[in-house]
Amino acid sequence: MSGVKEMSGKTRERLLYLLSPIALIAIWQLLLMLGIGDRRFIPAPSDIAQRFVSLLASGELEWHVGVTLYRVLAGFVIGAVPAVAVGLLMAMFKPVRIFFDPLIAALFPIPKIALMPLLLLAFGLGDASKIALVAIAVFFPVVVNTYVGAANIEKIYWDVARNYGASPAVMFSRVVFFGALPTIFAGLRIALAVSFIVLVASEFVATKSGIGYLIWNSWELLQVDVMFVGIVTIGVLGLVTSVLFAEIERNTIPWKTE
């Protein structure tokens, strides 16, 4: 059996994954310790780490992270689920495709953050407006990827499904969905990054919570180290969620791994 060998191969891959961020931090620290750069405006990783620990100890950081994660996850689910459904239906039924195509073409290129004032009007200053923004931003990459994935399913699978008596419901849930799944996952990964981008930007205004607020508020107070804690935290959240995502993908698409 080659099980042990495979395990160490995977572990090595995961270690390699951490190499580039660690190298970046090391170079940064080294440069500041050598006196290159002004430490008041660009704090060293060690300064940021200290501030990080103190913000954690006070519970402030956890609170902001919790709020941001809640908004991202809620918006992600609310945006992604209908996007997958619409994308699959577009591939299966031409009228659905003709109906949605111009809408998507027109709305996809609009920077979603530009909708924030509108959403504040519609949903108020609370979580709802941020969740709505994330949902809208997530919808477009997911719907396009789902449609492309479903439309490119090999013809033979449609033939088999039809010849073996698949109803539209079976076609949707057992054939088109799974056939498109690898591409759907690609869309979801893009959407995850996009959702952090728009959420943090939206948290700059009209809110008193979330990582975006932490970054903007510390800028106004000129607490540069807190600002960096916020930026790093977003990076870490992005990294962790993307690794989790890759794990989920590995487990849900067993036929694609070999």
Total residues in contact with other proteins, by rule CB under 8 A: 21
* 179 interacts with other proteins by CB under 8 A: yes
Residue carrying the six token digits 């970054």: 215
When the beta carbons of 8 and 257 are compared against other proteins, the nearer one is 257
Residue 164 CB, nearest approach to other proteins (Å): 4
The interface mask with other proteins, positions 180-219, x = CB under 8 A, is -x--------------------------------------
**Stretch in the footprint of other proteins (CB under 8 A) among 39-47, 140-148, 156-164, 213-221:** 156-164
The tally of CA atoms less than 13 A away on the side-chain side of residue 13 is 8
* 255 interacts with other proteins by CB under 8 A: yes
Neighbours of 177 (CB within 10 A): 18
Q: Which helix (H) or strand (E) holds 147?
A: helix 127-151
* 166 interacts with other proteins by CB under 8 A: yes
* 175 interacts with other proteins by CB under 8 A: yes
Report the residue from 63, 123, 157, 172 that binds other proteins according to the rule CB under 8 A: 157
Reduced 3-state DSSP string for 98-120: HHHHHHHHHHCCCCHHHHHHHHH
Residue 88 CB, nearest approach to other proteins (Å): 14
When the beta carbons of 186 and 253 are compared against other proteins, the nearer one is 253
The residues near 62 (Cβ < 8 Å, ≥ 6 apart) are 56
Query: Do the beta carbons of residue 86 and residue 143 sit within 8 Å?
Result: yes
Query: Do the beta carbons of residue 203 and residue 125 sit within 8 Å?
Result: no
**Stretch in the footprint of other proteins (CB under 8 A) among 72-80, 107-115, 122-130, 173-181:** 173-181
Query: Do the beta carbons of residue 45 and residue 28 sit within 8 Å?
Result: yes
Instruction: For Cα atoms 88, 89, 92, give the angle at the middle one, nearest 5 degrees.
Output: 90
Q: Which helix (H) or strand (E) holds 145?
A: helix 127-151
Local structure of residue 224 (DSSP, 8 states):
H
Report the residue from 10, 14, 162, 250 that binds other proteins according to the rule CB under 8 A: 162
- For 247, the 3-state DSSP assignment is helix
As given in the structure block, the two tokens for residue 70 are: 């809640």
* 250 interacts with other proteins by CB under 8 A: no
**Stretch in the footprint of other proteins (CB under 8 A) among 42-50, 92-100, 170-178, 231-239:** 170-178
Report the residue from 93, 159, 236, 248 that binds other proteins according to the rule CB under 8 A: 159
Report the residue from 164, 208, 220, 251 that binds other proteins according to the rule CB under 8 A: 164
**Contact residues: other proteins, CB under 8 A:** 156-157, 159-167, 170, 174-175, 178-179, 181, 253-255, 258
